[in-house]
C-alpha cells in the first residue's frame, strides 16, 4: 500500500460524538459515541463502511453491514438491550449518497494520509511457558484503511488473531487493536506488521520476551565467597580498632595506687 493511495477527503462521511453532560454547563461525566463512515478507494473504487456505538472509550456493538445484523462486543449485553441493524443500513445509504455529492463538490480531493503510531505489549507480566496475549495498538491514523499482520519468528501467523473495529478519536483520527494469544518462549520473537497509505512501506514493530538471565552457579559461589571474605575482614578490622581504642583510653587515664 503506497503513500499515494488514499481516499477522497469527502469520503469520511460521518463521525458523531454524543456527550452526556453532568450538572455543570461544561462538565462532561460520561461519553456515549456513535461513529459511522462510508468511504471509497480512489484507484480500486472499493467501498467500505462502518457503524459502531460505544460508551466512554469502549465499543458496545457494531453492525455487520454484510450480514445485516448487530454484533455485541459482550454477548450478554444483547440479553437486555437491542439495536435494529436496519437503522445502520439506512444511515449507510444516506452516507453513500452524500459521499457521491461531496466527491463531485471537492473535485475528487484526496484525503490527507496520517501514518499510525504502533505499540506492542503483553496483556500480563511475561512468564516463560505461561499463556499470555500480545496486543498491537495502532493509534492516531487516518483514513480508516489499515492492515495488521502478526509475524512469529519471521513467519506470518495465520490463525488465532482477533481485531477490533476502527475506534474514533476526538481529533477525528482512528485507533485499532489486534490481539494475538501466545505462549512466551525464550527463543521466539514476534513482529506486528502495519500497512497504511501514510507509510512508504509496511512498518514492523518488534517484540521478544525480556526475561532476566539467571546468574551462573560459579558466579553465585564467587559472590558468596567475596561477601564472606569482606565480612571477615570487617570483623578483624573492627576488633583491632576496639583493642587500640581500649589501649589509648588506658594510656590517657592511668589508674593510681589504691
Q: Which residues pair with 110 in a beta bridge?
A: 8
Distance CA 67, CA 95 (A): 19
Q: CA dihedral defined by 160, 6, 165, 81, rounded to 10 degrees?
A: -150
Topology, domain 9-105: 3.10.320
Highest mean pLDDT, choosing among 34-38, 132-136, 216-220 = 132-136
**Is 117-207 the same fold as 9-105?**
no
Q: Is 145 exposed, middle or buried (0-12, 13-18, 19+ CB in 10 A)?
A: buried
All structural domains of the chain with their residue ranges? 9-105, 117-207
Q: Which residues contact 61 (CB under 8 A, 6 or more apart)?
A: 52, 53, 70, 71, 72, 73, 77, 78, 83
* pLDDT 10s digits, 155-200: 999 999 999 999 988 888 999 999 999 999 999 999 999 999 999 9
Residue closest to 153 by CA, chosen among 122, 117, 186, 201: 186
pTM score: 0.71
How far apart CA 198 and CA 115 sit, in angstroms, is 4
Q: Given pLDDT bands bounded at 50, 70 and 90, which one contains residue 205?
A: very high
The answer to whether domain 117-207 has CATH 3.40.50.300 is no
Report residue 77's pLDDT band, with 50, 70 and 90 as the boundaries: confident
Amino acid at each position: 500500500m503506497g503513500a499515494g493511495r488514499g481516499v477522497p477527503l469527502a469520503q469520511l462521511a460521518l463521525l458523531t460524538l454524543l456527550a452526556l453532560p453532568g450538572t455543570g454547563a461544561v462538565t462532561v461525566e460520561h461519553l456515549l459515541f456513535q461513529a459511522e463512515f462510508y468511504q471509497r478507494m480512489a484507484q480500486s473504487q472499493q467501498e467500505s463502511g462502518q457503524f459502531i456505538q460505544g460508551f466512554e472509550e469502549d465499543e458496545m456493538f457494531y453492525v455487520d453491514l454484510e450480514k445485516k445484523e448487530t454484533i455485541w462486543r459482550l454477548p450478554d449485553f444483547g440479553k437486555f438491550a437491542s439495536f435494529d441493524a436496519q437503522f445502520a443500513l439506512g444511515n449507510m445509504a444516506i452516507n453513500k449518497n452524500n459521499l457521491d455529492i461531496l466527491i463531485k463538490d471537492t473535485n475528487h480531493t484526496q484525503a490527507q494520509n496520517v501514518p499510525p503510531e504502533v505499540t506492542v505489549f503483553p496483556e500480563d507480566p511475561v512468564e516463560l511457558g505461561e499463556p499470555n496475549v500480545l496486543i498491537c495498538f495502532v493509534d492516531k491514523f487516518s483514513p480508516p484503511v489499515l492492515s495488521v499482520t502478526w509475524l512469529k519468528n519471521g513467519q506470518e501467523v495465520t490463525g488465532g488473531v482477533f481485531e477490533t473495529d476502527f475506534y474514533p478519536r476526538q481529533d477525528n483520527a482512528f485507533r485499532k487493536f489486534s490481539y494475538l494469544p501466545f505462549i512466551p518462549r525464550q527463543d521466539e520473537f514476534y513482529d506486528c506488521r502495519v500497512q497504511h497509505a501514510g507509510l512508504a512501506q509496511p512498518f514492523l514493530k518488534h517484540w521478544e520476551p525480556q526475561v532476566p538471565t539467571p546468574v551462573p552457579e560459579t558466579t553465585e559461589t564467587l559472590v558468596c565467597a567475596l561477601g564472606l571474605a569482606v565480612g571477615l575482614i570487617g570483623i578483624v578490622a573492627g576488633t583491632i580498632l576496639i583493642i587500640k581504642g581500649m589501649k589509648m583510653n588506658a594510656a590517657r587515664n592511668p589508674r593510681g595506687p589504691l
